[in-house]
Structure 1
Amino acid sequence: MIDTIHFLREDLIWPTVIGLVLLWVLFLWKEYKAVTTTRFIIRGIVALLALSAVASLFLEPVTFQKQVKGVAVLKTANFDSNLIDSLKSTTPALKTITYKENQNLQPQLDSISELHISGDGVAIYDLWQFKNKKVYYHPHKPTPGIIKLAYDTEVLLGDSLTVTGLYKNSFSSNTVLLQESGARAIDSVKILNQDETVFKLHTLPKAKGNYLYHIIVKDSLGKIISSDPLPLTIKDRGRLRVLMVNTFPTFETKYLKNYLAESGHEVLVRSQITKDRYKFENYNRSQKSIYNFTHQNLSEFDVIITDVSTYNGLSQRSKNAINYRVEEQGMGLLLQADARLIEQGSKFGFRFKRKNIKALQLPSWPRVKIPVYPATLTKDALVEPILVTKNNTLSAYAQKGTGRIGTLLVEDSFQLLLSGNEDVYHYLWSTALGKISQQQQSLVQWSLSDYMAYSDEPFQFNLRTSIPLPKVVMNNDVVVPLVQNVTLQDQWSGTIYPNGYGWVNLKVTQAPASLKAMYVINDTAWKAKKVYKQITENASFYKNESSLSSESSIPVPFTKWWAFTVFILAMGYLWLAPRIYKN
């Protein structure tokens, strides 16, 4: 069915009409006194026909004919041939399209009103081609293996690494192992014989740098089923400035100060000997004594370690100075656990619940019993857990202004050192101090779209910085274009297309310390995880899309011969007529 006439160059209709009228008026003015009235009218009409023919050739008139679209099936990886045969039996004119990544499908999709997609779906970066299309997605069953993964790609030295994953379709006794760079298995877990199994692997990194761990899956006979890379960046925790204040020396303070000093932190210990007499110990810093606390001398420290009794015994001026540094300037205050803290916890933002427990175990060290006070912290909106095991909070902090007040509910933690569990001791204190001490704000904060990037595929990242017009480079030579967030002016996003495999560095040139390391893998790594994510994204995308009409209108151009013929005849008349009448 034919609709009304349209022009392909609709935006030029009015300029063309104005030009046509001006030329026609010029022609009429030229002919007005040269010919009789009858000839003038005839020549004016013929000239108008000639100009109209030229204008129509320029504007390209078309008509739109309605066309019924067809049905097609798009075959992606692991497509179901039985499904396609079933569709062909009900739709004999079914079109079959084989999907290839980065392929332009628009010419084929324009003639389709209904599309069936079978298999693992299209690549996530190709989903845009199916916007506003009527799609029926028939996903393939997810590939057996690890389909979900969660871990921190950056870990501070002394912190524990925990890798959490979801294993799909395991109906055999498989084992998942965490393997370090030297091909040594450092943790493992048995996979249960069920549809889905959540697993956790733990380790304590020993040195800073970029490392490539591996997640290995073995069957019951020890044969390797899969081996996938797990990139990890271990960063130095940085040098803390610590002030330890106690009414009298304790074994806990003695061992803690030794650990902090050996770790390279600046430590000042103030222990009260008698009334108005103190003993000062300085480690990794110049010798100095502090009797009364003020805003100025407390600015030299990132965290204060003390106990409730000592804090209560300070002068009001000293307590005001500590509270000011915590609330207004972000300094940390770590309260050593004891019975007094459990009684007066509400004074510092904590609420304790007494519990009949004497020891707890951490997942990374299930055989090590950690002595704890018989109490646990109750949940509170302003209390953030740091260490939690078996629904018991071992360490937490309460937000106070810009700073934090925290605690570690371990009783006589130095006993861990005496029993040879140095790793557990170091982990407990480094983790607690790292979260409670004054937080150093990074000039650039990165956020990556995934844990790893695939070679020759788009990979998105976001960054937040106060730097105006930041410039990001990849591997110090490729400049990455950035797009600024319209609402949040300090947020930017970019997309890279890494090639090759291995470590890739992103950096903001205005901030040399903003280096962000990421790892590029090949398309065979983490296959089950990639396929599962692709299937999930496809199903979610098509569910939210609206469908188009089963009919479409296609432009059919008018033949240009009629306009050309009219123009030749009109111009021929205008050229011959004066000569005929003259003779």
Structure 2
Amino acid sequence: MSFQPLFPIWVIIIGFVLILALLSWLEIRRPLRWRSLRLSALVLALLALMGILLQPSREQIRSDAPVLLLTADYESSVVDSLLLAHSDWEIYRTPGAATYLRSNSLEKLVGLSDLSHRIGALAGNGLPAYAWEYLPQKQFPFFPSALQSGMQKITQKVYSEGQVNQLEGSIYLMDVSRQLLLKDPEGPLDSTIVEPDGLQSFTLNFTPQEAGTWEYQLVQKDTNGQLLSEHILPIRVDPEKRLRVLILQAFPTFEVRYLKDFLADRGHEVAVRSQISRTNFRTEFANLPDRNLNRLSTALLDDFDLLIADAAAFGQLGRNDLNNLSTAVEQGLGFLGIVNGDDASFRRWLGLINVGGEPDSVRLGNNLTLAAYPVNRQQDREWYDLQRTANDRSVAAYFYRGRGKIGFQTTQESYAQLLRGDSLTYASLWMPVLEGTLRETYKDYTIELLSEFPNYTGEPLDFRITANQPLETVTVDDQKIAVREDPFLDNVWYGRFWPRSTGWHQIAVGEESLDIYSFAANAWPDLRLAQLRRQSLMQVRAEGLPKGEAFQQTRLEPVSRLWFYLLFLLSAGFLWLAPKL
């Protein structure tokens, strides 16, 4: 027996005792017959009131038949086989699933919470991520529908202004070849042909010229040019980071000259120090006032976000300059080493085991081939790749040293792209490397979207906020929303909202914001099915055939209040009638 009292139990018990004592004293003083019966009726009436307030419940063990849960596009043959082995199972279908004989319909997915302990198997495309929160017990098998031709995944990220970006995704094709075409509001940007060869990846290139949020389109056509599908593809483009770079060189080189001019033309602040003799230097400045660069003082290095040097320039640094450089990197400065020769101290500084003698060639995207020095990295450091070749070889990477970064770049003679007039390829080679190694700017807040693309109206969107200061008000589309703090991690918060309209929505806290696009329910149907299938396969924790036993559950069944009301009416009626008899 257990209770769900309307008030604290101690209040009810004390009130019962006091009222019983008072009313019993009044009844004893009344000169009426049947004193014992009147006192008994009084006790029963108060006990009935006490039962109404305490709301007692008793445990009952119920045996329920297992449930076969059907989702959209389930295969009838699979369902027939399961029911042939388990004819006593109940059948429920989610919204969007086709009808089946003797099946019950769930109007909303929240109804899964009442079936969570009974589900014996799941069939079809599966359930969205948020629906699994209604199913804490996931020990049942999942029988997914057959994989259908169509888009399987699109990797969403923030793209960079003025650089060649890559849209990456995967598609499953087993019928006919398809052309994938990426378009912006002004027209086609890139296309590729995908052959019917199962699951495969694709890449489409584009170069956004302006930062902001944009609605591109991803089009699928057959080999005859017949339109198969056309969907909005939301694109977020960040402005190019402003760089403040110091370049050291032992002697003037074409690589540094063109790199300096390229950065200056894009509005970045650049200082170049070239060594003429042991103690004399020639300096150049772009978008910066002139200053003394003879010594690498701590104050000087603190004014820059990135220092670039090759082996020759690094080898000419004095002990004080090296000490100041090491301190500056520990405190956050980024260092990028241009690998164009072998120097023992430079190699150790960059975390490399050895640098090969003659440069070989590497192939990057768009069939671009450049010379590069082969290197072997020390494996006791955690490396972060910035640029990889077509055969997955790293040509630019970095590791953390204190709060700063030390990275290397091995490609050579990239300035040839500028000589050919191909500034976009040159930007795509250098800007990710420069932005990846420069001094990190620590934001007050970082907002991350946790929900997988695509996101739909009427379904929850989850996000996470990492705060470096006390959390300010969080808004979605200028409306305040509540967030919850991580119980184990300090300054980590989680939020959820349900977009009610299609289009862009903005999560904001402090000076930071994140733009998210919400689709109508019928958008990206093939991507939606792949998303449901993938999320369901990740959630279920049982394989093989389902168990056929009935599910037993201990439940608290409340004692009917009707008995307490009847007892109270009978007892109170006797107390009212007794003086009249």
Do Structure 1 and Structure 2 share a fold, with TM-score over 0.5?
Answer: yes
CA deviations 1:411-444 (Å, max 9, x no partner) are 2322232234332222222222111221222222
* Residues 308 and 341 in structure 1, CA contact (< 8 A), matched pair in contact too: yes
Structure 1 residue 446: Cα displacement: 1.5
Pairwise mapping of residues 420-499 of structure 1 onto structure 2 (< 5 A)?
420-449=421-450, 450-475=452-477, 477-499=478-500
Pairwise mapping of residues 48-59 of structure 1 onto structure 2 (< 5 A)?
48-56=43-51
What is the RMSD of the two structures over their aligned residues, measured on CA atoms? 3.5
- 2: CA distance, partners of 1:409 / 1:316: 26
State the one-letter code of the partner of 2:194.
K
Identity of aligned residues (%): 23
**Compared with structure 1, are the counterparts of its residues 197 and 572 closer, same or farther at alpha carbon in structure 2 (3 Å cutoff)?**
same
**Compared with structure 1, are the counterparts of its residues 11 and 114 closer, same or farther at alpha carbon in structure 2 (3 Å cutoff)?**
farther
CA deviations 1:349-385 (Å, max 9, x no partner) are 222353876322212x21x321223x13436324332
Q: Which residue number corresponds to residue 397 of structure 1?
A: 398
Q: Which residue number corresponds to residue 280 of structure 1?
A: 283
- 2: CA distance, partners of 1:107 / 1:155: 40
State the one-letter code of the partner of 2:177.
S
Pairwise mapping of residues 86-101 of structure 1 onto structure 2 (< 5 A)?
95-100=90-95
Which has the larger displacement, 239-248 or 52-61?
Answer: 52-61
* Residues 464 and 492 in structure 1, CA contact (< 8 A), matched pair in contact too: yes
Structure 1 residue 264: Cα displacement: 0.9
- 2: CA distance, partners of 1:108 / 1:335: 61
Pairwise mapping of residues 74-113 of structure 1 onto structure 2 (< 5 A)?
74-84=69-79, 95-100=90-95, 102-105=108-111, 109=115, 113=118
TM-score (norm 1): 0.84
- 2: CA distance, partners of 1:104 / 1:384: 42
**Compared with structure 1, are the counterparts of its residues 571 and 61 closer, same or farther at alpha carbon in structure 2 (3 Å cutoff)?**
farther
**Compared with structure 1, are the counterparts of its residues 552 and 87 closer, same or farther at alpha carbon in structure 2 (3 Å cutoff)?**
farther
Q: Secondary structure at the match of 2:342?
A: helix
Q: Secondary structure at the match of 1:433?
A: helix
Which has the larger displacement, 311-320 or 40-49?
Answer: 40-49
* Residues 314 and 346 in structure 2, CA contact (< 8 A), matched pair in contact too: no
**Compared with structure 1, are the counterparts of its residues 402 and 189 closer, same or farther at alpha carbon in structure 2 (3 Å cutoff)?**
farther
Structure 1 residue 114: Cα displacement: 4.9
Pairwise mapping of residues 282-361 of structure 1 onto structure 2 (< 5 A)?
282-327=285-330, 329-341=331-343, 344-352=346-354, 354=356, 358-361=360-363
Structure 1 residue 308: Cα displacement: 1.9
Q: Which residue number corresponds to residue 581 of structure 1?
A: none
Query: Does 2:253 match 1:253?
Result: no
Give the unaligned 5+ runs of structure 2: 96-106
- 1: CA distance, partners of 2:64 / 2:348: 70
* Residues 272 and 284 in structure 2, CA contact (< 8 A), matched pair in contact too: yes
- 2: CA distance, partners of 1:65 / 1:431: 64
CA deviations 1:303-322 (Å, max 9, x no partner) are 22222222222222222222
Q: Secondary structure at the match of 2:515?
A: strand
Structure 1 residue 462: Cα displacement: 0.8
Structure 1 residue 295: Cα displacement: 0.9
Query: Does 2:171 match 1:167?
Result: yes
**Compared with structure 1, are the counterparts of its residues 267 and 567 closer, same or farther at alpha carbon in structure 2 (3 Å cutoff)?**
same
Q: Which of 131, 135, 157 is the equivalent residue of 2:136?
A: 131
**Compared with structure 1, are the counterparts of its residues 273 and 485 closer, same or farther at alpha carbon in structure 2 (3 Å cutoff)?**
same
Aligned residues: 561
Structure 1 residue 13: Cα displacement: 6.4
Q: Compare CA radii of gyration and give the structure with the larger one.
A: 1
Structure 1 residue 387: Cα displacement: 0.9
State the one-letter code of the partner of 2:290.
Q
Which has the larger displacement, 378-387 or 261-270?
Answer: 378-387
- 1: CA distance, partners of 2:155 / 2:466: 23
* Residues 260 and 267 in structure 1, CA contact (< 8 A), matched pair in contact too: yes
- 2: CA distance, partners of 1:379 / 1:526: 45
Q: Which residue number corresponds to residue 580 of structure 1?
A: none
Q: Secondary structure at the match of 2:352?
A: coil
Pairwise mapping of residues 493-572 of structure 1 onto structure 2 (< 5 A)?
493-508=494-509, 510-511=510-511, 514-543=512-541, 549-550=551-552, 554-555=557-558, 557=560, 560=563, 563=567, 566-567=570-571, 570-571=574-575
State the one-letter code of the partner of 1:419.
R
- 2: CA distance, partners of 1:565 / 1:382: 78
- 1: CA distance, partners of 2:363 / 2:551: 62
- 2: CA distance, partners of 1:14 / 1:300: 69
Structure 1 residue 178: Cα displacement: 3.1
Structure 1 residue 39: Cα displacement: 5.5
TM-score (norm 2): 0.85
Q: Which residue number corresponds to residue 190 of structure 2?
A: 186
Structure 1 residue 461: Cα displacement: 0.8
Structure 1 residue 217: Cα displacement: 2.5
Q: Which residue number corresponds to residue 146 of structure 1?
A: 151
State the one-letter code of the partner of 1:541.
Q
Give the unaligned 5+ runs of structure 1: 578-583
State the one-letter code of the partner of 2:567.
A
